[in-house]
């Protein structure tokens, strides 16, 4: 099938990205006006939602969010404050820079008032999941998996040791699984109606449109995490492109999606989860470009191993722990495709505790940990070779030579 080009001329492409850049500057200016209002006085009063809490030795740090910013502030460890609590707080704004304001800043507070608890849909679902488990750590696994609620640092470390952090940070992988479930259900419900009353309509397109509405509701519910937002915008863009006969799987499409996200929400530029998600999609597209002719079963197996290896140099620039069990990450990812819908169904029926014993044993697994850090110079070279692999097969061959070396590298020396 011949696909229509997204831009028919270079000028159209330049104008499009120039307009996005203008939107980006406008939104940065709006953020700056909010920042000026924030630092206008040394004390700033606002209503926030508590997203998470982190217990330290002598105090607790809570993560707050309002419509304009995300902040972290310390409170007395004796104060009991639950996730999703609404609070009124006085923050010390005198030492916050504009860059910190965009990224999410740390500020001391003068006082806070916790409003009486009012359950919303997310908090009701949160406690519905939590109450199905006796182990708090295990319940944190599922609330991260289904509601994108930050896990405790200790649990994140376990995810990292197993090499499965990507499975518990909602992204395109999860959107694909959820979309598959939603599409299957809608197809069952709509097929008879379509055949009897609406045979002239494109059934697949109708289901995708309804699915996009359901996914938007889910995205709003979980608080629009950056990686899932990227996947959702790409999904919407994909519907439009496929409807228009334009290729979705292209590096230009990925660049457009990222540019649109950053233009309308500039603080996303500081989101590590977004950039890791983008890197993952980039290597997926690279894999499709060069391995699309493989047999489907062989491709499915190779895909999971190759993407894992391709992402490793990037992941180990930020996260240093390496364990031999991480080499099983591709297999775990394949099994996760079955685990996710089963676990979701069990929780809906109230039997979410079914896998608790297995998970509890995995949580207490003893790891032999090696510290590996990708040097900046190596990361730059690696990303450069990856980029040129878009255009040159020789670069892609060089990339795979590097990945082959990386398989055995941890056993001989550290970066």
Query: For residues 232 and 172, what is the distance between their CA atoms, to the nearest angstrom?
Result: 7
* CB count in 10 Å sphere of residue 76: 8
pLDDT value at residue 247: 64
Q: Yes or no: say if 136 and 83 are a contact pair by the CB < 8 Å rule.
A: no
Tens digits of per-residue pLDDT, 76-125?
Answer: 888 888 888 889 999 999 889 999 999 999 999 998 888 887 778 888 89
Q: What 8-state DSSP symbol labels residue 44?
A: E
Query: For residues 76 and 57, what is the distance between their CA atoms, to the nearest angstrom?
Result: 11
Query: For residues 73 and 62, what is the distance between their CA atoms, to the nearest angstrom?
Result: 6
Contacts of 197 (CB under 8 A, 6+ apart): none
pLDDT value at residue 338: 92
β-pair partners for 71 = 64, 105
Yes or no: domain 39-118 corresponds to CATH 2.40.50.140 = yes
Contacts of 4 (CB under 8 A, 6+ apart): 244, 245, 246
β-pair partners for 182 = none
User: How confident is the chain (415 residues) per 10-residue block, as mean pLDDT?
Assistant: 67 91 96 94 91 84 90 88 87 92 92 83 90 92 90 84 85 89 92 84 88 93 86 85 70 89 92 90 92 86 90 89 83 90 93 92 83 89 95 94 77 46
β-pair partners for 370 = 322
Query: For residues 328 and 88, what is the distance between their CA atoms, to the nearest angstrom?
Result: 46
pLDDT value at residue 4: 61
Q: Yes or no: say if 310 and 283 are a contact pair by the CB < 8 Å rule.
A: yes
Domain spans, the chain: 39-118, 162-411
Q: Yes or no: say if 149 and 143 are a contact pair by the CB < 8 Å rule.
A: yes
Query: For residues 141 and 359, what is the distance between their CA atoms, to the nearest angstrom?
Result: 9
Q: Yes or no: say if 20 and 38 are a contact pair by the CB < 8 Å rule.
A: no
CA 352 to chain centre: 23
| Beta strands at 109-114 and 59-65: parallel, antiparallel or unpaired | unpaired
Burial class (CB in 10 A: 0-12, 13-18, 19+), 39: middle
Tens digits of per-residue pLDDT, 356-368?
Answer: 999 999 888 887 7
* CB count in 10 Å sphere of residue 63: 18
Q: Which of 408, 382, 400, 217 is nearest to 327 (CA)?
A: 408
The model's pTM: 0.83
């Amino acid at each position: 099938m011949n696909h229509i080009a997204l831009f028919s001329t270079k000028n159209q492409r330049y104008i499009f990205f120039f307009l996005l850049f203008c939107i980006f500057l406008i939104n940065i200016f709006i953020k700056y006006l909010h920042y000026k209002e924030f630092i206008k006085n040394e004390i700033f009063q606002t209503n926030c939602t508590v997203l998470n809490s982190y217990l330290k030795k002598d105090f607790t740090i809570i993560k707050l969010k309002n419509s304009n910013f995300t902040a972290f502030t310390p409170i007395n460890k004796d104060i009991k404050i639950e996730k999703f609590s609404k609070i009124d707080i006085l923050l010390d704004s005198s030492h916050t820079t504009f860059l910190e304001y965009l990224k999410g800043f740390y500020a001391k507070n003068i006082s806070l008032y916790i409003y009486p608890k009012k359950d919303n849909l997310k908090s009701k679902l949160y406690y519905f999941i939590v109450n199905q488990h006796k182990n708090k750590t295990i319940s944190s696994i599922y609330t991260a998996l289904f509601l994108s609620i930050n896990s405790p640092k200790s649990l994140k470390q376990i995810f990292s040791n197993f090499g499965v952090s990507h499975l518990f940070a909602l992204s395109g992988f999860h959107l694909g699984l959820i979309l598959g479930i939603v599409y299957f259900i809608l197809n069952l419900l709509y097929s008879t109606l379509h055949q009897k009353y609406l045979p002239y309509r494109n059934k697949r397109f109708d289901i995708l449109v309804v699915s996009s509405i359901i996914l938007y509701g889910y995205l709003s519910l979980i608080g629009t995490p950056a990686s899932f937002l990227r996947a959702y915008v790409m999904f919407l863009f994909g519907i439009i492109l496929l409807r228009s006969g334009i290729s979705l799987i292209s590096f230009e499409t990925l660049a457009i999606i990222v540019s649109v996200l950053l233009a309308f929400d500039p603080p996303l530029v500081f989101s590590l989860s977004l950039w890791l998600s983008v890197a993952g999609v980039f290597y997926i597209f690279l894999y499709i470009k060069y391995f699309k002719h493989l047999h489907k079963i062989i491709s499915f197996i190779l895909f999971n191993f190759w993407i894992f290896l391709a992402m490793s140099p990037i992941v180990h620039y930020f996260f240093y722990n390496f364990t031999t069990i991480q080499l099983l990450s591709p297999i775990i990812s394949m099994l996760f495709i079955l685990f996710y819908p089963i676990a979701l169904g069990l929780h809906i029926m109230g039997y979410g505790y079914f896998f608790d014993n297995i998970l509890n044993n995995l949580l207490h697994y003893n790891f032999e940990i090696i510290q590996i850090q990708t040097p900046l110079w190596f990361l730059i070279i690696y990303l450069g070779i990856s980029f040129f692999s878009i255009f040159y097969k020789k670069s892609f061959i060089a990339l795979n030579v590097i990945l082959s070396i990386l398989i055995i590298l941890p056993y001989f020396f550290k970066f």
